[in-house]
Amino acid sequence: MPRGTASAADQQLLAHADAASVRVTASQMARWRAHGLLPANARRALGRGKGSTSIPAGGADELVVFLGRQARAGRRPHDLALLAFDAGLAVPEPAALAATIRRVTLKMIFYGLSQAGRAIAAAAASVPAGSQDWQLRGHGVSQIGWGANLPDITVHATKTGSFVSLSKLLDSPTWREPDAVPLTALWNCIPDTRHLPLRDDLHRRTPLLVVPENDVRQHPMIISTVAYLPQTVVSSAHPAEDLATYMTAFPDADGYLPALTGDTPPRPNFNPHRDGWGELVMMWSAPGVPDGDAAERDRLLLTRTRQYDGQPYLMPAVGANMRGVHPLMSWWAVLHTLSMFARYEPSEWAGCIAVNSSPFAVPIEELLTTAINVVPRLISEAIDEVS
């Protein structure tokens, strides 16, 4: 934007930068505002029917000078936000928060997870004594399509590396480049993203919480309440068909029988939750298990599930796999993808975390905040699982 078309307030900011011998253009200020680095100008009434004029927001003059001095090739918007925040300048809170989360969570949590992978491998009972297999090398996961929309970036395992080795230890499936799956499918495999979709459509499948009922419901079959079925299934006009379609993504639940209503014809007996999601009692056969042996029924039920932060879940399978992905490996793939995206596509990443304009900003912020607390507990669970 040429300087002649700048608002009165922007002309004041440009003049202030000139007086400080800092070269700033109106187009630069427009970009800074688009990324949440520079606050919008305020309006001031002139009085007596004379209308209003724009004035710079408080602290914007010094912020423009600072940003002008710090802006250079290769420096990203969140880098500038952190520099300005650390310098005590009045950076708009969303930009400072997004940049801080980017620095503290995305980078450090993923590389912390990478190091924790070695601890998991070292603790694995299946790794022979004296073996160096715990010294994981390479990430073992890669992406295709950086120019695509964030949910459509595809992810696949490489031939070797940490992701591949840990997946083997945790009995988690992997998939190679011809079967690469979109990031959104892996994102959906994390239970904490149930209300934070990157893309919400009929293809979305999220983990199902399993609550064993064998000790409270005397029944010859394995019995459990399965929760967090989506509203599209719970409130469907064709519930039996839509439930069957939805559950094809959960091969670990193969052979389930839903509890039915007494209607004619019978329907799955859903119990809706207040948020529109719901739960359903499901049953599986228990051949050879004596009547009244609730503990054995629970044990068989839990072999179908993955532990996630102390609770058993049925995990959706991705791609053509016939087992749900281990939740720690879902986190691994998602955090690695976001980390690589931020590193190699900085301008697109900045757009994704712009709270005022991106539909992905809040889900990313919430996910990375959750990672700080949840991922360490998942690492501990994984160590217990393999040792």
Q: Are strands 306-308 and 311-314 parallel, antiparallel or unpaired?
A: antiparallel
Q: How far apart are CA 272 and CA 114, in angstroms?
A: 40
Report the distance separating Cα 142 and Cα 147, nearest Å: 15
- What is the distance between the alpha carbons of residues 380 and 288, in angstroms, rounded to a whole number? 34
Strands 278-284 and 222-229: antiparallel
Q: Judge whether 218 and 292 are in contact, CB under 8 Å.
A: yes
CA distance 210 to 281: 10
Mean of the per-residue pLDDT values of the chain? 86
Q: 271: which 2 tokens?
A: 């119990």
Q: pTM above 0.85?
A: no
Q: What is the largest CA-CA distance in the chain?
A: 90
Q: Report the alpha-carbon distance of residue 58 to residue 39 in Å, rounded.
A: 9
Question: Which positions of the chain have pLDDT values less than 70?
Answer: 1-5, 44-52, 74-76, 78-79, 82, 85-86, 90-105, 126-137
What is the model's pLDDT at position 347? 76
182: CB partners within 8 A, 6+ apart? 151, 152, 153, 154, 155
Instruction: Output the CA–CA distances (angstroms, integers) from residue 135 to 138, 139, 167, 188, in the order listed.
Output: 10, 12, 15, 30
Q: Residue 273: its pLDDT value, please? A: 96
Identify the burial level of 329 via C-beta atoms within 10 angstroms of its C-beta, where 0-12 means exposed, 13-18 middle and 19 or more buried.
Answer: buried
- The residue type found at 159 is K
pLDDT at residue 1 in the model: 42
Q: What is the pLDDT of residue 283?
A: 97
Residue 124 CB partners (closer than 8 Å, separation 6+): 134, 169, 386, 387
For residues 312 and 329, give the distance between their C-alpha atoms in angstroms, rounded to a whole number.
Answer: 16
Residue 170: per-residue pLDDT = 94
| Cα angle for residues 9, 14, 15 (degrees, 5° grid) | 95
- pLDDT value for 131: 55
- Residue 163's pLDDT is what? 92
**Residue 371 in contact with residue 335, Cβ under 8 Å?**
yes
Alpha helices in 250-315 (DSSP H): 294-302
- In this predicted model, what pLDDT tens digit does every residue of 319-366 receive, in sequence order? 889 999 999 999 999 999 998 888 888 778 878 887 778 899 889 989
Q: Give yes or no for a contact between 106 and 368, defined as CB atoms under 8 angstroms apart.
A: yes
Q: Where are the domains of the chain?
A: 3-76, 97-192+329-386, 208-314
